[in-house]
Amino acid sequence: MEAQKRRDDATVNLCGAQRHDGKFCAQRAGWGTEHVGRGRCRHHGGQLRSGLTAAAGEEMRGMAKPSNVLPGQALGGVLRLAAGQLVYASTQVARLRDDDLFERAYCPTEGVFKLVPHHWLKLQRDVMNDVARYAKLAADAGVAEREQQLAESQTEIVADLLEKVVGSLDLTSEQREELGPSIRRHLSLVKTDAQGV
């Protein structure tokens, strides 16, 4: 039981901020804040706007999992990943109550607290700008057209393969004439269903 507790403690994220005595904070990450498990603890800026934004970014990076892509698909992959981050950030914004849309943040240059948009709102806006930028880059590079061409060529390859396989069967001439259009018709239905998902 004690060994299990030590293993659990070792896997917990720590605040890690450097203290005045030179040691690092061993408090659990996000302790005393709304983002327990991520970012700095309450004593080391976890409740400040910068700490909240950093924790939100850390949480979002943990939720968005990149996938392996070919170099030609990289830009489309980046766009899809950013779009996933935008959905996640927007979900967090939708959970905010009206009285949570703004929060107090310390402005060190003026030495006062000010009302600023909630950290999830700021993150949502930043990711929205990223998505718009990546979408324009993808459009300029013709990513959508290339993906469409690739899908069409893959459909042709599969249709030709099926025709060759069925061609080895003992079919009448009428059945052979119907085979090609039938395969293409069914493959187009599969492609339409996949695009609608």
In this structure, the answer to whether residues 186 and 128 fall within a common structural domain is no
Contacts of 83 (CB under 8 A, 6+ apart): 131
What is the DSSP track for 130-164?
HHHHHHHHHHHHTHHHHHHHHHHHHHHHHHHHHHH
* Domain count across the chain: 3
- Shared domain for 23 and 52, answered yes or no, is no
Placement of tokens 């968005």 in the chain: 64
How far apart CA 1 and CA 26 sit, in angstroms, is 22
One domain, residues 52 and 137: yes
**71 and 33 together in one domain:** no
40 plus 52 within the same structural domain: no
CA contacts within 13 A on the Cβ side of 25 = 21
* pLDDT for position 85: 93
Give the pLDDT of residue 132: 92
Q: Of 194 and 163, which is predicted with more confidence?
A: 163
Say if residue 96 is in the same domain as residue 171: no
Residues 103 and 25 in one domain: no
Q: Smallest Cα–Cα separation from 48: which of 39, 36, 57? A: 39
Same domain, 66 and 84: yes
Q: What is the pLDDT of residue 10?
A: 47
Kindly report, residue by residue over 42-55, the tens digit of the pLDDT: 888 888 888 888 88
Residues 115 and 191 in one domain: no
Host domain of residue 5: 1-44
The helix or strand, by DSSP H or E, that contains position 187, with its residue range, turns out to be helix 173-196
